[in-house]
């Protein structure tokens, strides 16, 4: 599943291409979107803005219409020039938004809906999201408060709960716990306020670095959490199963979680499950 920084980058690219332009064509494979389009056409509307909210992407059109999409595991947005060959099959194009200069295509996006501003404010999922770490001024205090409301939850699960803190995914989950030298099974109650604040602030710092213009200009398409330029050392533990820890040399371990995601950690730097369970 794309992480918050990936959605942020997509929203920024879509905004630069579409914002301020009139929609000349709208197409979709979603019947519920087609019904809205038939009754109140998207064509002829102006794209007012494209924004990221955690892992949700919002495209705002004139006339109080908002398209919300969520990528889930395999969805992604592509941008093309009119007439340019698409990199994926048209059969996988779930939504197409075209202007005079650009074509935005949502491939394999499983979750999409039209909303009004009122419906957006009352949206069950969006209204319950925790603080967005890529917001202009993320509320670290509120994020910590929400995490504290789940004291017995292992920190590895808590960081992925979008109602506690929005935007973090599988990569940052593992990387942040390594940087904090915390075993993934450490319960939230066992983590000091200072340590929890440091984790959240580190998350903000890393995510901002990975969406910065300078990172993109320097070839930062690949996420970097170590600050190292060696392509083999861009992350501390993620997808480094069995490889030596970059700090202590201990082989990196991995396991599948209940949600089918994979967690990576270093037993040498982060301790073992026994010590975490009794923390």
Phi-psi sector, 153: left (phi>0), alpha (psi -120 to 50), beta: beta
Range 140-277 has CATH code 1.10.8.50: yes
Strand partners, 93: 107
Interhelix angle 193-211/170-179, nearest 10 degrees? 130
Three-state DSSP at 32 gives: helix
pLDDT at 212: 83
- Chunked in runs of 10, what are the mean pLDDT values of the chain (279 residues)? 85 97 98 97 98 95 97 91 95 97 97 96 93 93 96 96 94 96 96 96 94 58 84 94 97 88 95 59
Provide the residue ranges of all domains of the chain, joining segments of one domain with +: 4-128, 140-277
Q: Which residues are catalytic?
A: 2-3, 55, 261
Q: Enter the tokens of residue 152.
A: 């017995």
Answer yes or no: same fold for 4-128 and 140-277. Answer: no
Three-state secondary structure of 99-168: CCCCEEEEECCCEEEEECHHHHHCCCCHHHCCCECCCCCCCHHHHHHHHHCCCCCEHHHHCCCCCCCECC
Q: What is the CATH number of domain 4-128?
A: 3.20.190.10
Contacts 24+ apart (CB under 8 A), 96-99: 96/25, 96/26, 96/27, 96/28, 97/18, 97/23, 97/25, 97/26, 97/42, 97/47, 97/59, 98/23, 98/24, 98/25, 98/26, 99/17, 99/18, 99/21, 99/22, 99/23, 99/24, 99/47
Find where tokens 């369970």 sit: 277
pTM for the whole structure: 0.88
pLDDT at 213: 65
pLDDT at 278: 45
């Amino acid at each position: 599943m794309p992480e918050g920084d990936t959605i942020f980058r997509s929203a920024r690219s879509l905004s630069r291409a579409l914002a301020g332009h009139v929609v000349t064509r709208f197409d979709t494979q979603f019947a519920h979107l087609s019904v809205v389009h038939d009754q109140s056409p998207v064509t002829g509307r102006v794209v007012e803005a494209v924004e990221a909210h955690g892992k949700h992407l919002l495209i705002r059109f004139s006339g109080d219409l908002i398209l919300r999409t969520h990528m889930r595991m395999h969805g992604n947005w592509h941008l093309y020039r009119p007439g340019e060959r698409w990199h994926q099959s048209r059969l996988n194009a779930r939504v197409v938004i075209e202007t005079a200069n650009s074509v935005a295509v949502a491939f394999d996006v499983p979750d999409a809906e039209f909303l009004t501003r009122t419906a957006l404010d009352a949206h069950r999922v969006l209204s319950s999201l925790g603080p967005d770490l890529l917001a202009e001024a993320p509320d670290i205090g509120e994020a910590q408060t929400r995490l504290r409301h789940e004291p017995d939850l292992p920190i590895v699960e808590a960081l992925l709960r979008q109602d506690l803190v929005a935007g973090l995914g599988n990569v940052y989950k593992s990387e942040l716990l390594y940087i904090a030298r915390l075993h993934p099974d450490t319960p939230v109650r066992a983590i000091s306020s200072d340590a929890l604040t440091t984790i959240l602030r580190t998350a903000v710092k890393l995510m901002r670095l990975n969406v910065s213009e300078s990172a993109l200009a320097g070839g930062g398409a690949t996420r970097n959490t170590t600050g190292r330029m060696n392509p083999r050392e861009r992350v501390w533990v993620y997808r480094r199963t069995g490889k030596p820890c970059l700090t202590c040399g201990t082989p990196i371990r991995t396991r599948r979680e209940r949600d089918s995601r994979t967690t990576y950690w270093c037993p040498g730097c982060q301790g073992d499950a026994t010590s975490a369970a009794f923390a």
